[in-house]
Structures are given as C-alpha cells and as structure tokens.
Structure 1
Amino acid sequence: MDDPYNHIKKQIISDIQEHGVHIAYVDTDGYTPRFGYSIGLYKEFNHPELIIIGLPPESIGVIINEVKSEIEKGTIYIEGVRYTGFLSGYPIQFVRVSPSYYQDYVGFAGWYNDSSFDFPLLQVVWPDKEHHFPWDDDFNPRLKFQQPLLDRNEDFKFLEERNLGVYTTSDVLEGALIRFVYHNADGDWQFHSSNKPNLEQARLVCLNELVKLDPSLNEIYYLNYGEWAERSTAGSEWKVYAAE
C-alpha cells in the first residue's frame, strides 16, 4: 500500500539536504491555533527541534531560519533567557516541551528522527504587545489559547478553561465509560456513554472534573467545532467525524 505521506517525506528530506532544515506548517482549523516546527536541527546540528504556536507562517519561517543560522555558528539556545533580534521589536524565550505533547504536534519530526520521539524539543514563546509573556500575570488573556504552553498542563490539554461548563449525564459521573464526545458548532462540549443519552439525567459539570475522571479524554482535545468522536472500549482508539 502506498504511503499517503510519501510526497511530504520526500520534501522533508530534500529541504534538509539543501537548507539543513525543513519547516512544517499546520494551519488553524478555526479552533486549534496554527503552528510550525523544525525538522532536522537535531540530526544535523545536535540542537533541539523548535515549535512555534500562534504566529503566521512567515514569522515562523523567519524565526526558525534565523535560529538555524545562529546554531550553525555554534550558538545553543536555552530556556529562561530572553533573546532579541528574531521577532521585530519583541523578545522571545524558549521552554522545553514535555514529551507527552510530541505526538500531538510534531509527528513528522518523529518520523525523521528514526521513527522515535526521543529528541529534545523547545517551544519558542512570544509575548503580547506589552511585552508580557504567557506566564506573566498581566499577559493578555485573549491570547491565552492562541499559544498553549507545552511544558505544562499535561493533565489537561483542552484549549479551554478548566472550569468550563460542559454537558454530560449522571451515569458518566457514576462511572460509565464516556464513549461519545461532541464539540458543538456553538462551542459547547458534550460527553456521553451513549449516542442516545437520557436527557432526564443531564448534568452540567466543569470540564476538568471529567478529565480527572477519564484522562484519556485529552486524546481528543483538538476536536473542531461541529466534530464528534466515538470509541467502543476504554482502550480503543477514538474515531473522529467531521461536522455533517
């Protein structure tokens, strides 16, 4: 069977041979933010790969290529330091990405690095217009989910507040397996054990409460507006369906 990603893999190899790095872009789907990441920095320069979330492709390309040029000169970028000269008028910082996020974001980097996620990855973090970073108290709250930080919140990957009210039924709260998840077009979430839930048992709870009950819900945090997912058992893979 032909590999549907063969043309992408050939382009990755070609770009790395010619430029020392390939930059993969993933556009926003209206819910999850756009992002881009490097492939090749680890194998070619023994430097962590990079990922940037929330900036337009042209800015992502400029930053990664500039960092690559500096790496070629022997520079090594580390966490907790403000670097200037990459984003016009603004500093950037780096944080080390938790491996639990690798499969969610940098799949082709895993393929290139010997089909393994055993490599370091840094997130390039940008500030708001007032130069506040996401971990600062004064950071613009409207930008919070445009740039999720991948060094934390491994227990809760949803791009929502933990106390967001979501819909479920009392049987789920009593231990029934969540088998159907709906992200409605209006932004509401529903979590049910049946595709025909008993609405007399409907309950409104905090999203974080359900994720604590079943951490595997993090596997479908990315569901776009109007999409839904189902699984047959606790260990089976989620099947995702687009809006009808």
Structure 2
Amino acid sequence: MTEEHAQHDREAKQAIIHDVEKYGCHLALIEADNYLPAFVYTIGLYKKFGHPELICFGLKTDVLASILNHACDLIKSGQTLSSDKPYPGFLQDYNIQLLEADKEYYPDYIGYAGWFNDGNFNFPLLQVVWPDKQHHFPWDENFNPAWKFKQPLLDRNTDFKFYEERNLGVYTTSQALEGDPILYVYHNDDGDWQFHTSDQPNIDDAKLVCLEEITELDPTINELYHLQYGWSAWRKSKDDNWEYEEDIEEKQ
C-alpha cells in the first residue's frame, strides 16, 4: 500500500466513524469507471440499528445516495426493510425491491463495511433493485436488455461475476484449454477479453471460447470481473494475487 493510499484509507475510516456517530450511518460512494457502474452502500446500519446494510447500483451517485438516505431515514424511524415486498417512495412513480445478497459478493463491493463490523462480514446485506421504465425488474423476461448489466444481482451467479453474457466470445490459447494456468489477462479498449498462459502467446495457438468456459477452467478468473477497458492483469502463478495496470501502449 502506497503512502497516498494509506492516507486515503485513514481518512475514509475516520469519516465512517464520524458519520455513524453523528448521523447513524455512512454512505460509501463509488463512481462509475469506463466499465463498471457506480454504486453506493451503507455502513453502520447493522451496528447502530441491527438492520441489514444496503447497496444499490447503476444510477448517478446522487440518485443512489438519495435512495439510500431515504432508506436510512425509514430505518432510523423504526422501520425494517425486507425482501418480501415492493416499496414505493424511493423513486418517483416507481417501486423498488430488495434482494438478500450472497456473502460471497461482500469482499468485492463492501470492504469498508466489513472493516467497520469488526473486520468480518457476518452481517446481512440487502440490495436495492430498481426497474426499467416499463416497471420490469432485471429478473423479468421483458426487462430492458440495454440495462441488464447496470446492476448485478448479488443473490445469484456467484460462479460468474463478469458484467458480460456467459456466452461472450473471448480469446485464449490451446495451452490454457489443456490446463496451463492463465497468468495474463487483457481487457481491450474495444471490449475484447484475452486470457493467456504467457505474455507472448503464439497466434497459431489462438482459440475462441465462451467467457463462461474460462471461469469454469479457473474460477479465480472471477476476481477480474472489475478489469476496466484498456487494462491488463497478471500474476506469477495461479496461487498469487493479481496485479493490474492500464495498458498505455494500446491507447497510443
């Protein structure tokens, strides 16, 4: 961790403690990047009120914050939100619904909530889910397909965390399909994915497969669900952590 990162971490933790003491909860806002949508989550609701923490994806951060602030006000007034019914009043003319998030997603999205809750994730989390303009929710057959990946559904698909279709065509090599570890991954500016066992793969060994096949070969590839367009990731072995950087050469 660099000193700049360490300083940011200290300031973030101080802000969380201050806000929970003063307001009853803290909102952590994560802006959208060139690949993933923005999201906002609460910290403090579980410790302060015994209520599940909340998370919401895919809208502008001020709208997301407004939704969760409204929820926090309801909770502070004594209400308990649950996943068994729709709720009006969060978005004008639209209901929202809540999902019980799978704990496997917690480290991916709500790290500071884990820190605040004594360094573990033994608390419930509800995802606030919004509909499309025709009032269809993401699990409905007629939900707007253009919005499918604006809000991942955290109660399912823990085997496949990418913001892509499972049958998306991606590039790899015969060596990876034969069992060699994938050590180099590229998410190109045009959206293409490459998964290689070497930093200099042979074009003659190239294969086109479904993204789901790659995650089935090596479930740890799911750790790269957040890799932005124009970035690459690498590791020394399958047991090592991934490192990341923006691919400057591709942008020149």
Is this a same-fold pair by TM over 0.5?
yes
Aligned to 1:136: 140
Deviations 1:206-242 (A, max 9, x none): 0101111100000111100010101111111001111
1:161 partnered with 2:203: no
Aligned to 2:219: 215
Aligned length: 244
Aligned to 1:23: 27
Aligned to 1:75: 79
Q: Which runs of 5+ in 1 are unaligned?
A: none
2:232 pairs with one of 209, 228, 232: 228
2:51 pairs with one of 30, 33, 47: 47
Aligned to 2:95: 91
Give 1:73 deviation, angstroms. Answer: 2.4
Give 1:95 deviation, angstroms. Answer: 0.2
2:183 pairs with one of 179, 183, 186: 179
Per the normalisation by structure 1, the TM-score is: 0.98
Which amino acid in structure 2 is aligned with residue 132 of structure 1? H
2:13 pairs with one of 3, 9, 17: 9
Deviations 1:135-183 (A, max 9, x none): 0000000000011111111000010000000000111111110000000
RMSD: 1.1
Which amino acid in structure 2 is aligned with residue 196 of structure 1? Q
1:201 pairs with one of 200, 205, 209: 205
1:80 & 1:234 partners in 2: Cα distance? 41
1:111 partnered with 2:107: no
Structure 1 segments, 4+ long, off by >3 Å, are none
Q: Which runs of 5+ in 2 are unaligned?
A: none
Which amino acid in structure 2 is aligned with residue 175 of structure 1? G
Give 1:55 deviation, angstroms. Answer: 1.4
Deviations 1:63-82 (A, max 9, x none): 21211121122211111310
Aligned to 1:57: 61
1:166 & 1:225 partners in 2: Cα distance? 14
2:76 & 2:163 partners in 1: Cα distance? 36
Per the normalisation by structure 2, the TM-score is: 0.95
Instruction: Please give the secondary structure, in 1, of the residue aligned with 2:149.
Output: helix
